[in-house]
Amino acid sequence: MITIRDEVAADIPAREALLDRCLGERRTAKSSERLREGRLPAEGLALTAERDGGVVATVRLWPVEAGGKAALLLGPLAVAAELQGEGLGRAMMREAIWRAACRGHGAVLLVGDAAYYERFGFSGDLTRDLAMPGPVERERFLGLELRDGALAGASGVLVATGRRAEASTAAEPARRAA
């Protein structure tokens, strides 16, 4: 049985290992990482899927802003290789989007496979006037409004707005990558 629940501190080493297996160690070089480093995910929006005491999937959402418009940046989403294609990624996405909406957030942005994320309502049209703080393939930069008009007038480069992590927590991925 798989349970989707809030991430806890004890999940972090297993989550990092899962991300490395699924996305490779170069995942920390991506533009999205610039918005996550040294920050904490949005309150209540760091999710873990657990099976038999092990972490088998993860997704987090991060507070960002562009041109005065608040949004969340989703990612990374990762599912253990042996469970890919079983619907766990879809379940994680639906839970994350539902929780974000319930907490009053207006929009979610991400960089990912358009064919996959369009099924959840994400579109490149909403990010036309937005930019990441580094290189990104435009067709992979997508948005979803949880509230109509939440991204109306949003433009410019995304900036991180979330709570800062404690020094020991923020340094963990850097120590691992070194």
- Render pLDDT for 60-86 as a digit per residue (tens, 0 to 9): 999 999 888 999 999 999 999 999 999
Tokens 């079983």 locate to 86
**Sequence-separated contacts (24+) of 39-42 with Cβ below 8 Å:** 39/63, 39/160, 39/162, 39/163, 39/164, 39/165, 39/170, 40/162, 40/163, 40/164, 40/165, 40/169, 41/7, 41/162, 42/72, 42/100, 42/103, 42/105, 42/162
Answer whether residue 56 shows pLDDT above 80: yes
Mean pLDDT of the chain: 92
Kindly list the structural domains of the chain, giving each domain's residue range(s) and its CATH number in brackets, ordered by start: 2-177 (3.40.630.30)
- 94-148 tens-digit pLDDT: 999 999 999 999 999 999 999 999 999 999 999 999 999 999 999 999 999 999 9
pLDDT of residue 167: 62
Answer whether residue 154 shows pLDDT above 70: yes
First to last CA, the chain: 36
Q: How far apart are CA 16 and CA 14, in angstroms?
A: 5
Global pTM value = 0.90
Q: How far apart are CA 46 and CA 96, in angstroms?
A: 8
pLDDT of residue 136: 92
Answer whether residue 43 shows pLDDT above 70: yes
Beta bridge partners of 6: 47
Handedness of CA 143, 112, 61, 163 (dihedral sign): negative
pLDDT of residue 119: 97
Q: Is 9 exposed, middle or buried (CB count within 10 Å of its CB: 0-12, 13-18, 19+)?
A: exposed
pLDDT of residue 166: 82
Q: How far apart are CA 17 and CA 59, in angstroms?
A: 14
